[in-house]
Amino acid sequence: MTPQQVVSFAKENGAQMVDFKFMDFVGIWQHFSVPISEFDEDTFEDGVGFDGSSIRGWQPIHASDMIIVPDPATAKMDPFIAVPTLSLICNIFDPITKEGYTRDPRNIAKKAEAYLKSLGIGDTAYFGPEAEFFIFDDVRFDSTSNQSFYVVDSAEGIWNSGREEFPNLGYKPRHKEGYFPVSPTDSQNDLRNEMVLELQNVGIRVECQHHEVATGGQAEIDMRFSPLVDMADQLQWFKYVIKNVANRNGKTVTFMPKPLYGDNGSGMHTHVSIWKDGVNLFAGDGYGGLSKMALYYIGGIIKHASALSAICNPTTNSYKRLVPGFEAPVNMAYSSRNRSAALRIPMFSTNPKSKRVEFRTPDPSCNGYLAFAAILMAGIDGIENKIDPGQPLDKDIYGLSPEELATIPSAPGSLEEALNALKADHEFLLKGDVFTPDVIEKWIEYKTEAEVNPVRMRPVPMEFALYYDI
């Protein structure tokens, strides 16, 4: 839509408020609203001022003024606000230079798309993330100087098989057996269907929904692939819709990668392909039906996998999922069909349009704009430098001997390790001014000071079980 069309769209839908949404540096949607009387076509040119110093990882207080400018192509009616409200996703600009703000994740994603086109490699990078999540009935947590605890609960949790529920009817998925029984064992089908309908109402094309492997309400709803920036926009709507549908049904949703011990965590397998003039450049006559370009792309991902983890697996909790020998793909190998490899070539169809590379290491705690941009930049580096990904691995990696595993690169074992890898390997991200040095420096600084150090310094309950009687 054009600005004029957006103004007409708002009037046609009786909008009384306008909600400006934007992505903070860490990966959480922020917003503020104005009355419709304060909104017109000039808003798309002049923007609206706000305090950038109050946003994590952004401006210092002595240079706090920033400008938010809505993107007219993102206009939708928000389905969860009682007053009819027009919703717009926005870009962030410096009020002095009038340039896009370097630490605005959406700006970084836009620059990644532009960089791909400028190289002539392709004109579109399609992304298709599979963001898994848990639906819980209750969550409680706290951490103070003398105590720390968390409790999550779900009527579906196998731990409640002996609970007095007056009556307890059973039908609770056992650990690792949630993929995918029918109701009544799957008790959340209606809730997921409601989520699908709301996703469709905001223009997101959904391919399927199902229960996932873990007990306790793990779920997956798959979106149709889309170009990089649009897909990152959709991922934010996806999280917003799913959390709000759950909330109005008295449930709570988390995209935290590993909320349960002893069962599968939530990943975000990310499918990628590069196209030009309507042709899928990843289709070819090589291994798995891939082109040389696609194989070089894989080579770039493998080369930069440790640095990518700092952006694609950006929480300390991410590395509770990424543990060698368990369900998460930590080994940087590629294979067709093989789900134990970090990079998989799906073989559901022989149609060249369906050829893509699936990167299975990322998780849904990531900032989609930054993660998709970083994945694309690593792949572009592989294509430009013709990085050989080596031989495919067509056997169960989890069953390999220690000698065989020693030759396969592995994902970092902690967020600190990943951040150190990013510090040492980020030149590929700086090409085309996509990521800038201040972004990398602030990301490492913020993650270290706000997350790594506080987690590292706190005792955890398991340590009391292990060591209190020493």
Helices 228-248 and 105-119, packing angle to 10 deg: 150
Q: Of 220, 222, 233, 451, which one is the catalytic site residue?
A: 220
Helix (H) or strand (E) holding 288: none
Q: Is 165 labeled as catalytic in the residue annotation?
A: no
Q: Are strands 218-223 and 226-227 parallel, antiparallel or unpaired?
A: unpaired
Report the distance separating Cα 148 and Cα 144, nearest Å. Answer: 6
Tokens of 217: 């309400």
* Active-site position among 263, 358, 363, 416: 358
Based on the residue annotation, tell me whether 360 is a catalytic residue of this protein. Answer: yes
- The residue whose two tokens read 């792309």 is 297
Of how many residues is the chain composed?
470
The contacts of residue 288 (CB under 8 Å, 6+ apart) are: 335, 336, 345, 347, 392
Q: Of 360, 381, 416, 451, which residue is the catalytic one? A: 360
- Which of 113, 130, 156, 186 is flagged as catalytic? 130
- Beta strand ranges found along 255-385 (DSSP E): 268-276, 279-280, 334-336, 343-345, 357-359
Question: Choosing from 192, 269, 304, 356, which is the catalytic residue?
Answer: 269
Give yes or no: 138 in active site: no
What share of residues in the chain are helix, strand, coil (percent, to 5)?
Answer: 40, 20, 40
**46, 51, 404, 449: which is the annotated catalytic residue?**
51
Q: Where are the alpha helices (DSSP H) in 249-312?
A: 292-303, 305-312
269 labelled catalytic: yes
- In three-state secondary structure terms, 51 is strand
Name the catalytic one among 40, 194, 339, 394. 339
Do residues 330 and 324 touch, judged by C-beta distance below 8 A?
yes
SS3 456: helix
Of 78, 132, 156, 263, the active-site residue reads 132
Q: Is 427 marked active-site? A: no
> Is the CB of residue 356 less than 8 Å from the CB of residue 273?
yes
177 is catalytic: no
220 included as an active-site residue: yes
Q: Which of 104, 198, 212, 222 is catalytic?
A: 212
Among this protein's residues, is 304 annotated catalytic?
no
Active site residues: 51, 130, 132, 212, 220, 269, 339, 358, 360
